């Protein structure tokens, strides 16, 4: 798996790991934050490659302007195109399912770029694993504040939707109400403690 992973999924156009490669050989790369984190966390990339991937990911986050870490991380940093999304004829703001071919109308809603604590652990853990505690803390410490403030559960009075998935300004776009995956990132407290200087 290690030998095949980067040669198969590392996108030379972006410098990050694609979400998948279809049967036609095309890479489907939406700058998935958790995919990069998992690849690094589970040792599927050597450290030089892992650091380059994380450099690119953090640079892309800055480029697209995502900074609201107190509500978690977007699953992807660019819109998922209509052709790559499951179609159930929901409104874009309900499930992120786009009506436009470029996916822009569904972006930041639910699993099409919505912010969440779900799977954010792996991005944070990857940074700690690489010895990049300051980069990890820029994401993780605001998340800890968000946990303390109760920002990962409940419902948005404006949208009526739950806060376990949010747009980048903080509006609720989930439906679960209390999604336990949101709390997985708290495991990174152990990594944060290990990285503290005596």
Instruction: Grade residue 161 by pLDDT with cuts at 50, 70 and 90.
Output: very high
Give the pLDDT mean for 170-194: 93
CB 188 within 8 A of CB 125: yes
What tokens were used for 68? Answer: 């609201």
Q: What's the whole-model pTM score?
A: 0.95
Q: What is the pLDDT of residue 86?
A: 81
* Helical segments of the chain, H only: 2-9, 33-41, 47-64, 92-95, 120-129, 133-148, 188-195
Give the pLDDT mean for 174-198: 91
Give the burial class of 139: count Cβ atoms within 10 A of its Cβ; 0-12 exposed, 13-18 middle, 19 or more buried: buried
Which residues pair with residue 174 across a beta bridge? 162
Q: What is the pLDDT of residue 38?
A: 98
Give the pLDDT mean for 118-144: 98
Q: Does the pLDDT value for residue 15 go beyond 80?
A: yes
Q: What is the pLDDT of residue 162?
A: 94
CA–CA separation, 17 and 54 (whole Å): 10
Q: What is the pLDDT of residue 87?
A: 77
Q: What is the pLDDT of residue 194?
A: 93
Q: What is the pLDDT of residue 171?
A: 96
């Amino acid at each position: 798996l290690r030998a095949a992973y980067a040669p198969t999924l590392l996108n030379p156009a972006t410098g990050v790991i694609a979400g998948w490669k279809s049967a036609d050989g095309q890479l489907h790369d939406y700058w998935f934050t958790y995919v990069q984190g998992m690849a690094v966390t589970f040792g599927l990339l050597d450290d030089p490659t892992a650091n380059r991937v994380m450099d690119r990911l953090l640079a892309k986050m800055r480029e697209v302007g995502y900074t609201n870490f107190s509500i978690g991380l977007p699953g992807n940093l660019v819109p998922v195109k209509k052709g790559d999304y499951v179609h159930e004829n929901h409104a874009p703001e309900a499930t992120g399912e786009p009506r436009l071919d470029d996916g822009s109308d569904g972006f930041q809603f639910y699993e099409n770029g919505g912010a969440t604590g779900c799977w954010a652990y792996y991005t944070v853990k990857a940074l700690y694993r690489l010895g990049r505690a300051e980069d990890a803390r820029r994401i993780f410490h605001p998340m800890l504040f968000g946990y303390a403030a109760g920002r990962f559960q409940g419902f948005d009075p404006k949208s009526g939707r739950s806060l376990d998935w949010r747009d980048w300004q903080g509006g609720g776009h989930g439906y679960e109400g209390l999604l336990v995956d949101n709390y997985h990132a708290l495991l990174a407290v152990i990594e944060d403690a290990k990285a503290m200087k005596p």
